[in-house]
């Protein structure tokens, strides 16, 4: 459920924000996406730190950020807002207070959704 960011999903979102401090949000995001495809629980804190090291992040800064759960309250607040708005899950796209019904990240899906908004 989108509002339930306890444990690994919350840790992963927090870690992505920690990676962002070093300008590596998207690289870290992509690493999480790749690792998540295994279908196993791979977002424990030890693995999150390992992924950062593999991407060349400053381990000392990253690990301190992850261990302190620096961004977890922000992540949880964002999740609570999404749940309050009734968003079905992630990703959910909101444009001008309208939820876009996009089932994939394929450009043609976005194009159809935006074309429908413009009508």
* 36 pLDDT tier (thresholds 50, 70, 90): confident
- How much is the pLDDT for 5? 58
pTM above 0.85, yes or no: no
Determine the Cα–Cα distance for residues 119 and 34; give it in Å rounded to an integer: 37
| Cβ–Cβ < 8 Å for 61, 42 | no
Sequence ranges of the domains in the chain = 8-79, 88-118
| Beta partners for residue 95, in sequence order | 98
Res 35 pLDDT > 70: yes
| Beta partners for residue 93, in sequence order | 100
Interhelix angle 25-36/45-54, rounded to 10 degrees, is: 120
**Per-residue DSSP letter, 15:** H
24-33 pLDDT, tens digit each: 999 999 999 9
- How much is the pLDDT for 106? 84
| Cβ–Cβ < 8 Å for 106, 118 | no
> Per-residue pLDDT averaged across 45-65, rounded?
97
């Amino acid at each position: 459920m989108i509002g339930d960011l306890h444990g690994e999903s919350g840790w992963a979102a927090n870690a992505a924000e920690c990676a962002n401090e070093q300008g590596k949000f998207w690289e870290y995001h992509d690493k999480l996406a790749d690792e998540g495809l295994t279908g196993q629980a791979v977002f424990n804190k030890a693995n999150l730190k390992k992924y950062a090291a593999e991407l060349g992040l400053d381990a000392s800064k990253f690990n301190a950020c992850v261990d302190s759960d620096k961004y977890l309250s922000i992540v949880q607040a964002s999740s609570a807002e999404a749940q309050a708005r009734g968003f079905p899950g992630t990703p959910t796209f909101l444009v001008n207070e309208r939820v876009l019904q996009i089932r994939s990240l394929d450009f043609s899906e976005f194009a159809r959704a935006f074309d429908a908004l413009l009508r």
